[in-house]
A and B are shown apart, each in its own frame.
Chain A
Amino acid sequence: MLNIKDLHVKLEEEDKQILKGVNLEVKAGKVHAIMGPNGSGKSTLSYVLSGRDGYEVTGGSAHLGEDDLLEMEPEERAAAGLFLAFQYPVEIPGVGNMTFLRTSVNAQRKARGEEEMSAADFLKEVRARAKDLKIDADMLKRPVNVGFSGGEKKRNEILQMAMLQPKMCILDETDSGLDVDAMKLVSEGVNALRDAGRGFLVITHYQRLLDHIKPDVVHIMADGRIVKTGGPELALEVENNGYADILSEVA
């Protein structure tokens, strides 16, 4: 599904190398977690994969199925099935949440040459999905992310993911700013989307999210590389001992 080979990336403005040869393969139906200390390059990886400006790829490749992601515009990547749940979802004043969702869904459908979703079907779908995430009608009408609490923003990201039905979901520190209840809701939303045809890449600092979203594979990232890969037990090791042990072990 997602295939990253020897990816090298630097920041355009600062001429600073962030990713120094990332190798990663996520197969359909699998959930991979990436953990690592601050500044290890986790968020950069998610931005580069989804096509944010400001990064220069200096080597390597990233494919989603047959598609060469690095050659595509952000909206083309989205239409191809890539989704990034933002760490800091952006506010768009005056634009109703529902309008934003509908515009997104139909933009992707159009790009794939599919029929647009009818207003009635869309409403039915969005109401059902919103209910699962305890998102009320008022939150659907309010402007995108404006005045949303931390938990509301993250639930809203998962709602978008549920509506867009991507093949490959990247969650960038979705647990940050969440209390225990909100984390549970968000995790349930993610788990409901797990299926044999969909891959997940969950970026997080903390093991606690992985109690709810159980990963198949855990990677530790440090200084722009994946330095260790293992099963769920690796996340527990981090939780108990911190990163220092692992880092000194691989250094």
Chain B
Amino acid sequence: MDNVVDDVMVKEGVDQETVDAVREVGGAYKYGWETEIEMEYAPKGLNTDIVKLISDKNEEPEWMLEWRLAAYERWLQKKEPKWAMVDYPEIDFQDQYYYARPKSMEVKPKSLDEVDPKLLETYAKLGIPLKEQMLLAGVEGAEETTGAPRKVAVDAVFDSVSVGTTFKDELAKAGVIFCSISEAIKDHPELVKKYLGSVVPVSDNYYATLNSAVFSDGSFVYVPPGVRCPMELSTYFRINAENTGQFERTLIIADKGSYVSYLEGCTAPQRDIAQLHAAVVEIIIEEDAEVKYSTVQNWYPGDENGKGGIYNFVTKRADCRGDRAKVMWTQVETGSAVTWKYPSCILRGDDSQGEFYSIAIANNMQQADTGTKMIHLGKNTKSRIVSKGISAGKAQNTYRGLVSMHPKAKSSRNYTQCDSLLIGDKCGAHTVPYIEVKNNSSRVEHEATTSKVDDDQMFYCRSRGMDEEEAVALVVNGFCKDVLQALPMEFAMEAQQLVAISLEGSVG
């Protein structure tokens, strides 16, 4: 999130910053550096002792440990899913570290002032200053530039632990709880007990079950009834340690009539060996509440030959429990060697709404199998899916989505639009929609297109003075416009740059 920039114009197409960013990185992954810091690891491998150790390190109550151990038992009986259109070498789950924390985090800092300067530097370098300051951002789509100072609260997760959370006090005044999940387990056990695993059950799927056993940290949000969260909340995940999996857990509860917008960003160093990331995000939305969840996923994608990179197996689900509850997922997936991710909406309450906006970019040897599930249970529920897949190099990009209208979901509606863009002739785009309709008053619409960045478009742009990279960035940003517009403005800027950077080297 390089968003502390002066006087930036963001337009719906390419902006100067995008172009500069492309030039600057020259094809290299921008966040591939490593923080040299003394780490403390749990022994390699996975067994009940490791699960106990993680629970112990987090000073958890007994009930939490039991929950984890039950998950671990379940996991042992489960098999890795193979149905996705991704191909990767067998993962040796015993050859991983499941817990890694900076030594300086052994005693949890009481405030941001006490956090190891090396960690603060790391986040500053990533463009995430862990200071309670206003962020200045340009305005998307507007013809004239206006700098609107906005506050964004950040929870910073480094490998297995949360380093710190900003604006906690100010949020607390509004009644909003924003802290790491490890703190929430200790400080708000009643909320965690009530909601944890209630949207993504422990035995939901292989990776979610694994996460339930070994998650080390993540973020927790509770917005009380009727409260509109006074600022955007965000979590920034950084994997730094080698051979270490990151298993974070996020739990967001929007109580009746509340509203919160939540952002998630992630990066990792450039390494030859692939690393595992298996997260679970659960969102509970009560009556008349609304949650917006935006992700810019920029894990290290591996090199152009497919060496290294993050294997990203993520379960994200929102449960619209109350009537008229609303959720909106927006994701920009540019990183990771393998992405397996389907942020879903359970539309349980009558008149509840779910939206899913996605840009998935796969370049070089990247593989992405991503999409959503819209489960319509309540009456008059509505969902909307807009997916933009961009494939370049030798990448494979799959949209996989389910729209299910249950018998009681009378008069419900879904609209799905799936567009694929191909750059070059060695990549692939696939669309796999599943549609189930079990009542006769609901309507489901599905539209899909596949197009190419063609030579005529490139030549047209270049004959007007743009170089190849500018031209591709412009065309692709145009293709993604519907989704970019759904992002909060800080993310929209970052996303535009990322689109350009991720496609660097895809032409010529």
Q: Which residues of A contact B (CB under 8 A)?
A: 50-53, 73-75, 77-79, 83-84, 86, 89-96, 98-100, 102-108, 111, 116, 119-120, 123, 143, 160, 164
B77 at the interface (CB under 8 A from A): no
Kindly report which residue of chain B lies nearest to residue A89, judged by CB atoms. B460
Q: How many angstroms from the CA of A91 to the CA of B477 in the assembled complex?
A: 14
Task: Name the residue in A74, A103, A105, A123 with the highest tally of chain B Cβ atoms < 10 Å from its Cβ.
Answer: A103
Could you say which of A103, A116, A160 contacts B13, with CB atoms under 8 Å apart?
A103
Kindly report which residue of chain B lies nearest to residue A91, judged by CB atoms. B457
Bitwise, B290-334 to A at CB < 8 A (1) or not (0) is 000000000000000000000000000000000000000000000
Q: Would you give 7 A-B contacts (Cβ < 8 Å), ordered by A?
A: A52-B459, A74-B459, A94-B13, A95-B475, A103-B13, A105-B465, A111-B465
B271 at the interface (CB under 8 A from A): no
B423-482 residues at the A interface, CB under 8 angstroms: 455-457, 459-467, 470, 474-475, 477-482
Inter-subunit contact B466/A75 (CB<8 Å): yes
Assuming the contacts A107-B470, A120-B144, asked whether A92 and B460 have C-beta atoms less than 8 A apart, the reply is yes
Inter-subunit contact B465/A107 (CB<8 Å): yes
B145 at the interface (CB under 8 A from A): yes
Inter-subunit contact B463/A95 (CB<8 Å): no
Q: How many angstroms from the CA of A77 to the CA of B482 in the assembled complex?
A: 33
**Please, which residues of chain B bring their CB within 8 A of the CB of A106?**
16
Kindly report which residue of chain A lies nearest to residue B13, judged by CB atoms. A99
B92 at the interface (CB under 8 A from A): no
On chain B, the number of residues with a Cβ less than 8 Å from chain A's Cβ atoms is 31
**Please, which residues of chain A bring their CB within 8 A of the CB of B470?**
103, 107
Task: Name the residue in A74, A93, A120, A143 with the highest tally of chain B Cβ atoms < 10 Å from its Cβ.
Answer: A74
State the total of A-B contacts with C-beta under 8 angstroms.
104
Inter-subunit contact B13/A78 (CB<8 Å): no
Q: How many angstroms from the CA of A242 to the CA of B18 in the assembled complex?
A: 52
Inter-subunit contact A123/B143 (CB<8 Å): yes
Closest chain B CB from A42 CB (angstroms): 17
Bitwise, B1-21 to A at CB < 8 A (1) or not (0) is 000000001011110100100
Assuming the contacts A75-B467, A107-B465, asked whether A92 and B11 have C-beta atoms less than 8 A apart, the reply is no
Inter-subunit contact A78/B479 (CB<8 Å): no
Inter-subunit contact A84/B463 (CB<8 Å): yes
Q: How many angstroms from the CA of A242 to the CA of B208 in the assembled complex?
A: 77
Inter-subunit contact A53/B455 (CB<8 Å): yes
**Please, which residues of chain A bring their CB within 8 A of the CB of B12?**
94-96, 99
Closest chain B CB from A109 CB (angstroms): 9
Which label, helix, strand, loop or mixed, suits the secondary structure of the A interface?
helix
**Please, which residues of chain B bring their CB within 8 A of the CB of A86?**
460, 463
Inter-subunit contact A51/B462 (CB<8 Å): yes
Assuming the contacts A92-B474, A94-B479, asked whether A99 and B464 have C-beta atoms less than 8 A apart, the reply is no
Assuming the contacts A103-B13, A103-B470, A120-B144, asked whether A90 and B456 have C-beta atoms less than 8 A apart, the reply is yes
Q: How many angstroms from the CA of A95 to the CA of B499 in the assembled complex?
A: 14
Task: Name the residue in A52, A92, A108, A160 with the highest tally of chain B Cβ atoms < 10 Å from its Cβ.
Answer: A92
Inter-subunit contact B465/A79 (CB<8 Å): yes
Q: How many angstroms from the CA of A83 to the CA of B479 in the assembled complex?
A: 26
Closest chain B CB from A181 CB (angstroms): 26
Task: Name the residue in A77, A79, A102, A160 with the highest tally of chain B Cβ atoms < 10 Å from its Cβ.
Answer: A102
Inter-subunit contact A103/B14 (CB<8 Å): yes
Bitwise, B128-150 to A at CB < 8 A (1) or not (0) is 00000000000000011100000
**Please, which residues of chain B bring their CB within 8 A of the CB of A77?**
463
Q: How many angstroms from the CA of A119 to the CA of B19 in the assembled complex?
A: 17
Kindly report which residue of chain B lies nearest to residue A80, judged by CB atoms. B465
**Please, which residues of chain B bring their CB within 8 A of the CB of A98?**
11, 143
Inter-subunit contact A95/B477 (CB<8 Å): yes
Could you say which of B11, B467, B475 contacts A107, with CB atoms under 8 Å apart?
B467
Q: How many angstroms from the CA of A108 to the CA of B464 in the assembled complex?
A: 8
Q: How many angstroms from the CA of A52 to the CA of B467 in the assembled complex?
A: 13
Q: How many angstroms from the CA of A78 to the CA of B477 in the assembled complex?
A: 23
Closest chain A CB from B394 CB (angstroms): 22
Inter-subunit contact B143/A99 (CB<8 Å): no
Task: Name the residue in A75, A91, A105 with the highest tally of chain B Cβ atoms < 10 Å from its Cβ.
Answer: A75
Inter-subunit contact A119/B455 (CB<8 Å): no
Inter-subunit contact A74/B463 (CB<8 Å): yes
Could you say which of B145, B456, B466, B477 contacts A94, with CB atoms under 8 Å apart?
B477
**Please, which residues of chain A bring their CB within 8 A of the CB of B467?**
73, 75, 107
**Please, which residues of chain B bring their CB within 8 A of the CB of A73?**
462, 467
**Please, which residues of chain B bring their CB within 8 A of the CB of A92?**
457, 460-461, 474-475, 478
Q: How many angstroms from the CA of A98 to the CA of B13 in the assembled complex?
A: 10
**Please, which residues of chain A bring their CB within 8 A of the CB of B463?**
50-52, 74-75, 77-78, 83-84, 86
Inter-subunit contact A99/B14 (CB<8 Å): yes
Inter-subunit contact B13/A96 (CB<8 Å): yes
Closest chain B CB from A148 CB (angstroms): 14
Inter-subunit contact A95/B478 (CB<8 Å): yes
Q: How many angstroms from the CA of A99 to the CA of B145 in the assembled complex?
A: 14
Task: Name the residue in B9, B461, B467 with the highest tally of chain A Cβ atoms < 10 Å from its Cβ.
Answer: B461
Inter-subunit contact A103/B9 (CB<8 Å): no
**Please, which residues of chain A bring their CB within 8 A of the CB of B465?**
75, 78-79, 104-105, 107-108, 111, 164
Q: How many angstroms from the CA of A107 to the CA of B475 in the assembled complex?
A: 15
Inter-subunit contact B464/A78 (CB<8 Å): yes
A-B pairs with the 5 shortest C-beta distances? Answer: A94-B478, A95-B478, A99-B13, A108-B465, A104-B464
**Please, which residues of chain A bring their CB within 8 A of the CB of B14?**
99, 103
Inter-subunit contact B464/A160 (CB<8 Å): yes
Closest chain B CB from A169 CB (angstroms): 12
**Please, which residues of chain A bring their CB within 8 A of the CB of B455?**
53
Closest chain B CB from A158 CB (angstroms): 13
Inter-subunit contact A90/B466 (CB<8 Å): no
Q: How many angstroms from the CA of A49 to the CA of B9 in the assembled complex?
A: 34
Q: How many angstroms from the CA of A129 to the CA of B459 in the assembled complex?
A: 24
Inter-subunit contact A107/B464 (CB<8 Å): yes
Kindly report which residue of chain B lies nearest to residue A105, judged by CB atoms. B465
Kindly report which residue of chain B lies nearest to residue A79, judged by CB atoms. B465
**Please, which residues of chain B bring their CB within 8 A of the CB of A99?**
11-14, 474
**Please, which residues of chain B bring their CB within 8 A of the CB of A52?**
459, 463
Q: How many angstroms from the CA of A104 to the CA of B464 in the assembled complex?
A: 5
Could you say which of A89, A102, A116 contacts B11, with CB atoms under 8 Å apart?
A102
Assuming the contacts A74-B462, A92-B475, A95-B477, asked whether A100 and B144 have C-beta atoms less than 8 A apart, the reply is no
Inter-subunit contact B481/A94 (CB<8 Å): yes
**Please, which residues of chain B bring their CB within 8 A of the CB of A79?**
465
**Please, which residues of chain B bring their CB within 8 A of the CB of A123?**
143-144
